[in-house]
């Protein structure tokens, strides 16, 4: 298996533009997570899905952020409009089950820079 | 999830053992202890987890105190590739929360 795939790996955009980050989870995994990492706040959960349904989006910072999972093999995280404070590394992770013993597999991340 | 405390940084020499401590004095009886690490410019990766007994796998060993208020991740022979941030995370059995809650972790430096 190729692992969790994220695209693009790097994104540079200007303030006000729409940004779409993409994630392909590991085949067969039923949980998908979006995390964000910054120097100030560390790694924090934004939202997670179970069987393509959003379960907890309490970490989504504002209405400018939205996430979808139209099918089991694809998810997007969209920021519209983007702001400089959204600059961060965004990670997607997937797991089989959500139990406390279930390993999460992380993608390589998308480094977003908003100018 | 209960809170964990780890040193901000540690240093090790290559090919020597490394003991990374984690305090979790408020751990509940149903919390699993997980360790993840994040290599530079990569996503976190799972290392090991345990509940009460010591655990070994190909990457590391996990030693859990008898009262479970602390644990130690042991890398038996550190390599340069082991330089990373190591996170100690508690997860409630049954997983009322599916996500991982990351603290600041311990940044491990390995000297050749």
Mean pLDDT (whole number) for B19-31: 92
Tokens of residue A18, six digits: 């729409």
Select the residue of A48, A55, A101 nearest B49 (Cβ to Cβ).
A101
Predicted local confidence at residue B98, as pLDDT = 61
Enumerate residues 6+ apart whose C-beta is below 8 A from A51.
Answer: A30, A72
Sheet containing strand A19-24, strands side by side: A5-7, A19-24, A74-79, A65-71
Closest CA in chain A for residue B93: A100
pLDDT in tens, B6-15: 999 999 999 9
Considering all CA atoms of chain A, what is the largest pairwise distance in Å, rounded to the nearest integer?
Answer: 41
Residue of B nearest to A91 (CA): B43
What residues of chain B, 43 to 82, have a C-beta less than 8 Å from chain A? Answer: 43-46, 49
- Is A31 close to B98, i.e. CB distance below 8 A? yes
CB atoms within 10 A of CB A48: 25
Q: What is the pLDDT along chain A (115 residues), one digit of tens a residue?
A: 689 999 999 999 999 999 999 999 999 999 999 999 999 999 999 999 999 999 989 999 889 999 999 999 999 999 999 999 999 999 999 998 766 567 899 999 999 999 9
- pLDDT for res A1: 65
């Amino acid at each position: 298996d190729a692992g969790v795939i994220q695209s693009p790996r790097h994104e540079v955009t200007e303030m006000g533009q729409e940004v779409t980050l993409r994630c392909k989870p590991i085949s067969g995994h039923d949980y998908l997570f979006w995390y964000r990492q910054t120097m100030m706040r560390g790694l924090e959960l934004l939202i997670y899905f179970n069987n393509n349904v959003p379960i907890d989006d309490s970490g989504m910072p504002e209405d400018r952020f939205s996430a979808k999972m139209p099918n089991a093999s694809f998810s997007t995280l969209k920021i519209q409009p983007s702001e400089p404070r959204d600059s961060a590394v965004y990670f997607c992770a997937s797991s089989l089950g959500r139990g406390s013993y279930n390993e999460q597999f992380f993608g390589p991340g998308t480094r977003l820079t908003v100018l | 999830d209960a809170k964990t405390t780890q040193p901000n940084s540690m240093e090790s020499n290559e090919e020597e053992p490394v003991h990374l401590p984690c305090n979790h004095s408020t751990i509940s009886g149903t919390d699993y202890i997980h360790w993840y690490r994040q290599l530079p410019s990569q996503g976190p990766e799972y290392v090991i987890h345990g509940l009460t007994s010591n655990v070994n796998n190909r990457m590391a060993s996990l030693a859990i105190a008898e009262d479970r208020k602390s644990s130690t991740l042991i890398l038996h022979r550190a390599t340069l590739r082991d330089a990373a941030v190591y996170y100690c995370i508690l997860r409630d059995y049954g997983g009322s929360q599916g996500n991982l809650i990351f603290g600041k972790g311990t940044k491990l430096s390995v000297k050749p």
